[in-house]
Amino acid sequence: MENTNPIKNIFFISATFLMFVVSLGIFSFISNQRVTENENSTITFDGEGTVSSTPNVAEFTFNISAERDELKQARDEVTKKVDDIYDYLLKDKKLSKKNVKTTSYNIRPNYDYISDKGFGGSRRVFRGYEVSHTTKVKIKDIDDTSEIISAVSDKKPSYVSNLVFKIDEEDMRKLQDEAVSIAILNAKRRAKDIASRTNINLGKIQSIYIDRNSSRGPQPYAFSTKSVSAEFASDIQTEVGENDVIASVRITYRLRK
């Protein structure tokens, strides 16, 4: 019995030491994890900026279509009408060529389906070729909008539609930059206010997300001369209102201990 006690004691001491070492390692690991989490802690603030501006351009589309037995007849008729309108827009109203743009040109054969009792079904009969030419027009001087649409309508297009008042691209970029600056300022003000109320310490900015593509304003004014007279087109009221250019940001800060 006396010979086994020292062995038991040695075993007990070794086991106790091993448990101490393991416990110390676990504590050290947990402590290190907490420090890492604190160092990487972040807080995020949102901000929005809005700038209002009056639209300075108008856009609309018109279409010329014709259906004839011969393809050449349909193409020639469409070309003549389109050229007539283009002459008015480019020569009489002196619009820039870049603001009168073809958006689609289509040629398709059309068929009728006639019941044929002899064959127990229907048969396809060629009706003619349809040619369709669609153009988008941008008007830089909004005051000319009613006059131009009225003149185009008088030339008997298939339809005139999708009149939209908007802010020109170059001006829109400037307004978006201004809205972004306001949004960033608002987000930073909010961050400073929350930090002072909660006694948190803001560190460096970790990331900024910017959305500059939002806007709201008057809805597009859509109409078609298929369903209304040219006299209506001449009486269009171009009350363009204002558009709001909106930007939003999300700023993420690191937190300092």
- Listed in sequence order, the residues at least 6 apart from 19 whose beta carbon sits closer than 8 Å to its beta carbon are none
Residue 29 has pLDDT above 80, yes or no: no
Rounded mean pLDDT of 233-249?
75
Q: Token digits for 45?
A: 């603030």
Mean pLDDT of the chain: 82
pLDDT of amino acid 225? 45
Q: Residue 108: what are its φ and ψ, rounded to 5°?
A: -150, 145
pLDDT of amino acid 27? 44
- pTM of the complete model: 0.65
103-112 contacts: CB < 8 A, separation 24 or more?
A: 103/61, 103/134, 103/135, 103/136, 104/132, 104/133, 104/134, 105/132, 105/133, 105/134, 106/130, 106/131, 106/132, 107/71, 107/74, 107/75, 107/131, 107/132, 110/67
pLDDT of amino acid 221? 45
- Listed in sequence order, the residues at least 6 apart from 217 whose beta carbon sits closer than 8 Å to its beta carbon are 55, 241, 242, 243, 244
Contact in structure between 226 and 7 (CB atoms under 8 Å): no
Residue 229 has pLDDT above 90, yes or no: no
Residue 91 has pLDDT above 60, yes or no: yes
pLDDT of amino acid 243? 87
**Burial class for 252, CB neighbours closer than 10 Å (0-12, 13-18, 19+):** middle
Higher pLDDT, 55 or 123: 55
In three-state secondary structure terms, 86 is helix
Cα–Cα distance, 121 to 8 (Å, whole number): 103
Rounded mean pLDDT of 92-98?
95
Higher pLDDT, 114 or 128: 128
∠ CA 97-163-133, rounded to 5°: 55
In three-state secondary structure terms, 143 is helix
pLDDT band at 227 (very low <50, low <70, confident <90, very high): very low
Instruction: For the chain, give the percent of residues with pLDDT over 90.
Output: 62
Give the CA radius of gyration of the chain: 37
